[in-house]
Amino acid sequence: MTRLNLLSKIKTTFGIITTFRDWPKFMLYYFEILKPRGKNTETTFTFWNGLKWHVDASKRGFAVISDVWIKHPYWLLFKIKNPKIIFDFGAHIGSFSIMAAKKYPEAKIYAFEASKENYVMLKKNLRENKIKNVHAYNVGVGAKNCILDFFINEKNTVMNSFVRKGKGGSYKVKCKNVSKIFDELRIKKCDFMKIDVEGFEYRVLKGAERDGSLEKINAVATEVAVKMGYFKKTEELLRRNGFKVNTVVDIISAVRK
């Protein structure tokens, strides 16, 4: 183990302890020491601040809670002054949406999640935590308005995607582009947009550039896997559309100049 990896693990462990009230339980699942048994694999984790999370503990997707709340990949959100409209494309079980709702209670957050399973857990977490300013939709986001095959990762719900990444089942999902979403919700300006749609990030932004809806967006934070081949293209797309780009590992943060 390199010194950098060791420091990262120490930082993550400290973050878990200071964030989760039931941190011993979370760490047992996080480091895969404890694994759920039986048909009912749902469990809950609780923050020191009272937030409660319903998760499917049989799949690694629950780890995204600690990734978002401890590692703060979407730090740009906290630099935006009094945002009114926030979009969460790839909302998963609500980690980012609930963070945004708590940080900016006067803002409207629109959360889009393609996975039926994740969407059910997202709605449950919104109800559990009495979040009123997040509007959730079981719809995928892409470059076009169409029906697409959505591929399921049996081990990690974060990896569910419109891009096939190995074995696993699939089902059909309605997909909309940014322009149609903005039109239907009557959005004239988006203050912040988070995009984490597992390989479709560049397509989402390219479609928004093509139809002009990108001009309505003030700031973007997106996770783009370098190995997918779209990382540089995504940076270039944002720069040529008037954004100042900052990159940390696989997170591209961009705000209009």
pLDDT (tens, 9 = 90+) of the chain, 257 residues, equals 566 578 888 888 999 999 999 999 999 998 888 888 777 889 999 999 999 999 998 877 788 999 999 999 999 999 999 999 999 999 999 999 999 999 999 999 999 999 999 999 999 999 999 999 999 999 999 888 988 877 766 665 555 555 556 566 777 889 999 999 999 999 999 999 999 997 789 999 999 999 999 999 999 999 997 776 789 999 999 999 999 999 998 999 999 98
**Residue 14: which domain range?**
1-57
Q: Are residues 152 and 200 in the same domain?
A: yes
H-helix or E-strand spanning residue 117: helix 116-128
79, 17: one domain: no
Number of C-beta neighbours around residue 41 at 10 A: 13
Which residue's entry shows tokens 């990030």?
201
Same domain, 29 and 122: no
63 part of a folded domain: no
Are residue 89 and residue 9 in the same domain, yes or no? no
State pTM to two decimals: 0.91
Residue 128 lies in a domain: yes
Residues 38 and 143 in one domain: no
User: What DSSP element (H or E) covers 10?
Assistant: helix 3-19
Residues 8 and 125 in one domain: no
Nearest one of 101, 106, 10, 19 to 65, comparing CA atoms: 19
- Is 165 part of a structural domain of the chain? yes
* Count of domains forming the chain: 2
82 and 16 inside one domain: no
Are residues 163 and 42 located together in one domain of the fold? Answer: no
Structure letter (DSSP) for residue 32: T
Residue 99 is assigned to a structural domain of this protein: yes
Whether residues 41 and 126 share a domain: the answer is no
Indicate whether 62 belongs to any domain.
no
CATH, residue 239? 3.40.50.150
CB atoms within 10 A of CB 102: 13
Report if residue 28 sits inside a domain.
yes
Domain check: are 149 and 108 in the same one? yes
Q: Is 15 exposed, middle or buried (0-12, 13-18, 19+ CB in 10 A)?
A: middle
In a domain, 64, yes or no: no
Tell me, yes or no, whether 218 and 120 share the same domain: yes
Clarify whether residues 84 and 123 are in a common domain: yes
